[in-house]
Amino acid sequence: MNRSSVRIFRTLNFLLAILVVALDRWSKLAVVHNIPLYTMRPVIRGFFKLTHTENPGAAFSLFADSTGPWASRALVAFSIIALTVVASLLWKQTRLFSQTAIAFSLILGGALGNLWDRVAHGRVVDFLLFYVGKYEWPVFNLADSCIVIGAGLLALSILTQKPGTES
């Protein structure tokens, strides 16, 4: 594969990450401007609501109860390290939208979207609430979804990859 193709593939893979950030920003701003904080709007009764919450912790409210400033700084530092690793792994991808490249692009975009909130506001806007009866999944956002989907694709890619091939 020639350098020009690799450059184009890299650009398109990184553009997917930028698209994730843009959609994440748009969705969070729509929620902030249209749903008052801690208000819920039913979408599918008995299963899904839109809500406006703010999470000072990590994904799925991990460390949300930590009151010290160390928690936020640690999450920002961890995010920057993870972003550096994922961006470098994405850079090494030489195929356009391979399963692995898509996984890294989704993870990178999601991590950047949440880091944006954390650096700008010290917390992340979450708004997707799935539930059945009294059982609720922790509230999350589009960036969290992309990170989880990307991690799942990456795991699937690793588990199904044949020796000596790149997915």
Cα–Cα distances (Å) from 151 to 6, 15, 37, 89, 124, in that order, read: 24, 19, 30, 13, 20
Catalytic residue among 24, 65, 117, 126: 126
Residue 60, token pair as written in the block: 């799925």
Helices and strands in the chain: count of H runs, count of E runs: 4, 4
126 is catalytic: yes
117 is catalytic: no
Q: Exposure of 61 by Cβ count < 10 A (0-12 exposed, 13-18 middle, 19+ buried)? A: middle
Catalytic residue among 24, 65, 117, 144: 144
Query: Tell me, what DSSP letter sits at residue 163?
Result: T
Other CB atoms within 10 Å distance of the CB of residue 138: 17
Q: Which residues are catalytic?
A: 126, 144
